[in-house]
Structure 1
Amino acid sequence: MSITASLTPGELTAKAPVRRKLFGDLARTRLSGAILIALLLLLWEVSAARGWIVSDNWPRFSAVLVAAYRGLLSGELAEILGATLYRMLAGYAVGCILGVLFGLLLGSNRILDWTIRPLIEIQRTLPSPAIIPPLILFLGVDDTLKIFIIMLAVFPPVFVNTYGGVRGLDETLLLTARTFGLSRLDTLRKIVLPATLPAMTAGMRIALSLALIMAVIGEMISGASGVGNYLMSMQYAMRADSMYAAVICLAAAGYVLNRIFLVLERAVLHWHHSTRLE
């Protein structure tokens, strides 16, 4: 029997206004955010059109939209954005897999924790951009380098959240598993993974934005096709409208990726309170 089926009609009626209030608050919050963004973009347009900011590097927002439209229509912006997203998602996937794997292993095994975690802590303290020059000497400037530095940026938040989720697991759950004679694999699959999923996905969501940031930084430093290299080229060519157009397309792509992640997270963690108000 489901929880909903076990509730009386009076209890369901009492909960309905609460749900409506929560969704109403969420809708108002999103509307407020959209209005703020629209006002800022309008201020951008007016400040350039009225000459409040006089600079060749501050074009009108309408000119940026035209540049974005032309770039997407010609396929140029779509191509560079696709190259950046490919590297970002590849590095993100590898970093998430390694972060979850090491988080589960070190969180559940004290010997591995004592042995390996000091190395991971050292890696966490190193700023990813700082190690790009040495990595270029070993990996060159192709996609391997960019995917690797993205993986290095993604790994720490996923590892820390997964590790913390395992270490914070209620001992009663593990004792119950032993009482019922569950094997280590069954305990991991049926108890540890479900209990740590909220922490894992929290780390993955943080890592998603880091992956996009590092993808652009890697392209700026190593010089390759992608948004990062395109931004540098437009800066040197004094084409500010095209430069801002790429930034806006990148921001839109990041927003879409975040919304997709939230939809997937809500589907996987539909039972958890953290996904109900996103």
Structure 2
Amino acid sequence: MTSRLRNASGFALVLALLLLWEVSARLGWVASPNWPPFTAVVAALARDVMTGEIPLLVGGTLWRMAAGLFAGGVAGVVLGLAFALLPFVARLFAPIVELLRPIPVPAVIPPLVLFLGLDDTMKVTVVALTVFFPVLTNTVQGVRAVEADALAMGRTFGIGALRRALFIVLPASLPYILAGFRIALALALVVAVVAEMIAGEQGVGHYLVMMQFAGRAEEIYATVLLLGMLGYALNRGFLLAERRMIHWWFALGRQSDA
């Protein structure tokens, strides 16, 4: 089965599920006033987009997500390189990392609210903490996967440790690092919305909570549908950028290794 046929099969299943949604609501298969037809949800989404309310909310959420993704990603890459290249750094910070990693994100939000308030700083920090761990883990794995011959050649030519890290280790680890960013991208969107739902007065998450209190089911489903499409678009865009950045890796047919 070709890749195009597999994609067509996936989209066909999505269309079938949406059709089932529409039929189940129209024929009353789901006995609930809060199960609107799919067409009504699409109409509500179009209406909110035309008014400009949803684009403004989505823009704010994406900004907070991007800021946290950048901050947490950079920190994860830097500390991951230090962990893999400097054993004393790993011995010093690894216990702290392992202590913080299992803490659920919703449990982190209340103390951060007390410490940072309800502004964007808190939400960006929550996203950054979420992004940090997958990027850190993948960076460490990527550095460990660098071929010893490449490092030995760098030493033979008298390249210093810092330059070896920047010009040999980092490029060779890039497929693993980007794999970590791809995982973190989806998590960043989820956590940004959750943070807005728990503590905030703006963004898509806060809008969802307000629609819940108002009992406006069509707007709730429309927003969830929009988030799904947004997540899909972000993932596809990242895949395209990834193929351009590490085209040599895909040319070797090694994408599954990362």
TM-score range, shorter chain: over 0.9
Partner of 2:196: 219
What amino acid sits opposite 1:223 in the alignment?
A: G
What amino acid sits opposite 1:88 in the alignment?
A: M
Partner of 1:117: 94
Following superposition, the deviation at residue 191 of structure 1 comes to 1.4
72-81 or 174-183, larger mean C-alpha shift: 174-183
Distance in 1 between the 2:113 and 2:254 partners? Answer: 41
Contact kept? 1:201, 1:265, Cα under 8 Å? yes
Distance in 1 between the 2:211 and 2:108 partners? Answer: 26
Q: SS of the residue aligned with 1:125?
A: coil
Partner of 2:151: 174
Distance in 1 between the 2:60 and 2:154 partners? Answer: 46
> 1:174-194 CA distances to partner (integer Å, 9 max, x unpaired)?
112111211223312331012
Partner of 1:98: 75
Partner of 2:126: 149
Partner of 1:15: none
Following superposition, the deviation at residue 82 of structure 1 comes to 0.9
Following superposition, the deviation at residue 275 of structure 1 comes to 5.2
Following superposition, the deviation at residue 77 of structure 1 comes to 0.9
- The structure having more radius of gyration, on CA atoms, is 1
Distance in 2 between the 1:91 and 1:77 partners? Answer: 21
> 1:36-95 CA distances to partner (integer Å, 9 max, x unpaired)?
100000000000001101211110000000000000000011111111111111101111
Distance in 1 between the 2:212 and 2:195 partners? Answer: 17
Following superposition, the deviation at residue 259 of structure 1 comes to 1.1
248-257 or 170-179, larger mean C-alpha shift: 170-179
Distance in 1 between the 2:110 and 2:65 partners? Answer: 19
RMSD of aligned alpha carbons: 1.3
Runs (5+) with no aligned partner, structure 2:
none
Following superposition, the deviation at residue 274 of structure 1 comes to 4.7
Distance in 1 between the 2:88 and 2:162 partners? Answer: 19
99-108 or 121-130, larger mean C-alpha shift: 121-130
Partner of 2:227: 250
Distance in 1 between the 2:166 and 2:70 partners? Answer: 21
Runs (4+) off by over 3 Å: none
Report the identity percentage: 47
Distance in 1 between the 2:161 and 2:200 partners? Answer: 47
Say if 2:164 is the partner of 1:187.
Answer: yes
Distance in 2 between the 1:63 and 1:275 partners? Answer: 41
Return the TM-score normalized by structure 1.
Answer: 0.88
Contact kept? 2:119, 2:200, Cα under 8 Å? no
> 1:202-254 CA distances to partner (integer Å, 9 max, x unpaired)?
10000000000100110010032111111111111110001111111111111
How do residues 1-16 of structure 1 correspond to structure 2 at under 5 angstroms?
none
Contact kept? 1:96, 1:154, Cα under 8 Å? yes
What amino acid sits opposite 1:142 in the alignment?
A: D
Distance in 2 between the 1:37 and 1:186 partners? Answer: 49
Partner of 2:107: 130
> 1:123-145 CA distances to partner (integer Å, 9 max, x unpaired)?
11211111111111111111111
Distance in 2 between the 1:26 and 1:251 partners? Answer: 22
163-172 or 120-129, larger mean C-alpha shift: 163-172
Runs (5+) with no aligned partner, structure 1:
1-23
Say if 2:18 is the partner of 1:36.
Answer: no
Distance in 1 between the 2:92 and 2:255 partners? Answer: 35
Distance in 2 between the 1:62 and 1:52 partners? Answer: 16
Work out which of the residue numbers 160, 163, 180 in structure 1 matches 2:137: 160
What amino acid sits opposite 1:236 in the alignment?
A: F
What amino acid sits opposite 1:117 in the alignment?
A: A
Corresponding pairs, count: 253
Partner of 1:271: 248
Q: SS of the residue aligned with 1:56?
A: coil
Against the structure 1 CA distance between its residues 229 and 103, is the aligned structure 2 distance closer, same or farther, given a 3 Å change threshold? same
What amino acid sits opposite 2:103 in the alignment?
A: L
Return the TM-score normalized by structure 2.
Answer: 0.95
